[in-house]
Structure 1
């Protein structure tokens, strides 16, 4: 049986004892003077929720996860599980006392142990027979009961990821932490394993916090997303909130490729090479940044709002990526269009702007 062909019907379902509320209150962390990794982060993962910690490398995502697990200790602030302090100024519960499971990025399976023994490794409070039974339930839950006697080297990357998930779920934790669990998988397998993992998380009903640097992965998995930058929580909310109402240019650029234009507000509008953009909430004279998603253009060979010349054209399957020369633009304007929207010989074309793909920010606030 291969992972790619494993069907949901081959798994058994078993819920956790309960799902917990995990709260971070004013968490700060540093590795020494001038090496701050987290700066006053407050965040809550609600019971049964899948929360994704998203951000670039070095933003503090994994450190926050390690603090929740008890592997790292915060400088200040508190961690609470169902309103009970588990890490703070006067309390520090060791990892094994927290009812928190952790799936490492590299899976961290023991090569000398069978799959069954890997999964029951942490079930030390149970008898050998009870531990074996719980481990088999966990393996069945991820569709790998038939591999109980195998060893990690005999499994694919996707199957090893499932074993790591089964091991973390076997003690039935209240909270499950996953540190970039799909980063080692190839792109074709990643989609299937991610979807199946999400189904398992829903069935187990554990609160889950997943670290990723991939915005699309976060949108696919999360009930809510928390975006971090330089150790600070920049914005949190549903995927729709962060995509449609980004708090800053940084947030917008993390979820979409953008064309960026600078301008000054005049008459509550900003003039740009791609047209005049309304700025009703900005004062006249304010410096503004206009960002347009690559999908924000309709194209035509006969009529439109803006004249453009095609500089390069790349076929990507369903879509084409264009680089365009537009009068007044210092850099080529990029557009992602439906394949076939332009003829093969098209060179001079017209663009029309989709207002829903235009984002406006006051320049001095972009650093948030």
Structure 2
């Protein structure tokens, strides 16, 4: 077990520092009843990094997490921690000996145990007195030491999530694996709990791999994001990389709402109902997809290049979502604008497009 000494900062107990590990998926393959669920994925989480596995349901992100934890076995490739083979052709290290912590989606707290006993549950290698002390340190780290004698049912969802985090961190794992850790929380709680969790991860300095299907959550938390689809790794990079330079139409649509058009490259350009897009570097005559972010469409009552008519508008608080009819396409074009920018009852408007929100991809 990695050991560390908790320290105090401004009188508060901070997370004990662990020895963060590098975790590597090397050409991982996995099949389930003959169906390939992971397809040759190679990916490394660097020491102390928060890496998010992002993708829709069925993309393979939770399977990768289970392989890292040792509760699922791959059909090909190797899992390495600090360059030591944990699972592969030459070795299989059991889960409890990997120095890995696992935090489940449903928190998996034992209802018949006190909060303290839930947290000390995995500290079996310690003497009882030392395990209690370590569990209390973990609870103080997440601000819940005063709930040590309570039972999980007496805690809110956010508090239960923090207990689950304390239990996962108590053994001081070198890698912490978190499966959709905020999905069960009320939307009003998510921001605060997520920010608190990230602060604790930074203090503990453990390598963290977080599974999520929420692109905004991944962007808020991750140092890097690995985007998956159908068991394949689509793109890896920072939030800035994936948002500004998506590899394909799937990646673009995952990080922002888009209008999609088809076109053909002619002279390095492609014509769309929203104007001409730059397709430099793409082959002449190639079929392409053009994505235009909703946030990149400015709608104005003044005269402009692209006339439009508002079909519907939905007030969403800070913003409004517009459906617009424009020449050149039978499908409505959508725009997301700040609320109250257009007067009530307005129908005829014009559209302008920010060039940085136009993305062109070759069709496969």
| Smaller-chain TM-score bracket | over 0.9
Q: Does 1:131 align with 2:134?
A: no
Distance 1:339 1:9, change over 3 A: farther
Give the C-alpha shift of residue 16 in structure 1.
3.2
In 2, Cα distance between the equivalents of 1:331 and 1:135?
58
In 2, Cα distance between the equivalents of 1:10 and 1:38?
47
Q: Does 1:246 align with 2:253?
A: no
**Matched residue, 2:296:** 296
Give the C-alpha shift of residue 340 in structure 1.
2.2
**Matched residue, 1:176:** 176
Distance 1:9 1:64, change over 3 A: farther
**Matched residue, 1:141:** 141
**Matched residue, 2:217:** 217
Q: Secondary structure at the match of 1:91?
A: coil
**Matched residue, 1:16:** 17
Give the C-alpha shift of residue 345 in structure 1.
2.9
Q: Secondary structure at the match of 2:13?
A: coil
Question: Is contact 2:288–2:362 with CA below 8 Å preserved after alignment?
Answer: yes
**Alignment of structure 1 residues 1-368 onto 2, 5 Å:** 12-33=13-34, 35-364=35-364
Give the C-alpha shift of residue 318 in structure 1.
1.3
- Runs of at least 4 residues of structure 1 off by over 6 A? none
Give the C-alpha shift of residue 10 in structure 1.
8.6
In 2, Cα distance between the equivalents of 1:29 and 1:278?
40
In 2, Cα distance between the equivalents of 1:228 and 1:280?
28
In 1, Cα distance between the equivalents of 2:190 and 2:155?
16
Measured against aligned partners, the alpha-carbon deviations of 1:125-155 in whole angstroms (never above 9, x if no partner) come to 1111000000000000000000000011111
Give the C-alpha shift of residue 330 in structure 1.
2.4
In 1, Cα distance between the equivalents of 2:186 and 2:10?
24
In 2, Cα distance between the equivalents of 1:121 and 1:16?
21
Q: Secondary structure at the match of 2:265?
A: strand
TM-score with structure 1 length normalisation?
0.95
Stretches of structure 1 that go unaligned for 5 or more consecutive residues are 1-7
Question: Is contact 1:292–1:357 with CA below 8 Å preserved after alignment?
Answer: yes
Stretches of structure 2 that go unaligned for 5 or more consecutive residues are 1-8
Q: Which moved more, 1:51-60 or 1:300-309?
A: 300-309
**Matched residue, 1:3:** none
Distance 1:9 1:345, change over 3 A: farther
Question: Is contact 1:157–1:184 with CA below 8 Å preserved after alignment?
Answer: yes
Question: Is contact 1:304–1:350 with CA below 8 Å preserved after alignment?
Answer: yes
Give the C-alpha shift of residue 9 in structure 1.
7.5
Give the C-alpha shift of residue 14 in structure 1.
2.4
In 2, Cα distance between the equivalents of 1:338 and 1:114?
48
In 2, Cα distance between the equivalents of 1:130 and 1:315?
56
In 1, Cα distance between the equivalents of 2:292 and 2:20?
41
Measured against aligned partners, the alpha-carbon deviations of 1:72-91 in whole angstroms (never above 9, x if no partner) come to 01101111111111111110
Matched positions, count: 356
Question: Is contact 1:11–1:142 with CA below 8 Å preserved after alignment?
Answer: no
Q: Secondary structure at the match of 1:343?
A: coil
Distance 1:86 1:328, change over 3 A: same
Question: Is contact 1:10–1:143 with CA below 8 Å preserved after alignment?
Answer: no
Q: Secondary structure at the match of 2:14?
A: coil
Q: Secondary structure at the match of 2:295?
A: coil
Give the C-alpha shift of residue 334 in structure 1.
0.1
Measured against aligned partners, the alpha-carbon deviations of 1:297-351 in whole angstroms (never above 9, x if no partner) come to 1222122220000000111111111000001112100000112221113211111
In 1, Cα distance between the equivalents of 2:27 and 2:254?
24
Q: Secondary structure at the match of 1:317?
A: coil
Measured against aligned partners, the alpha-carbon deviations of 1:15-57 in whole angstroms (never above 9, x if no partner) come to 2330110011000001122x11101000000000000000000
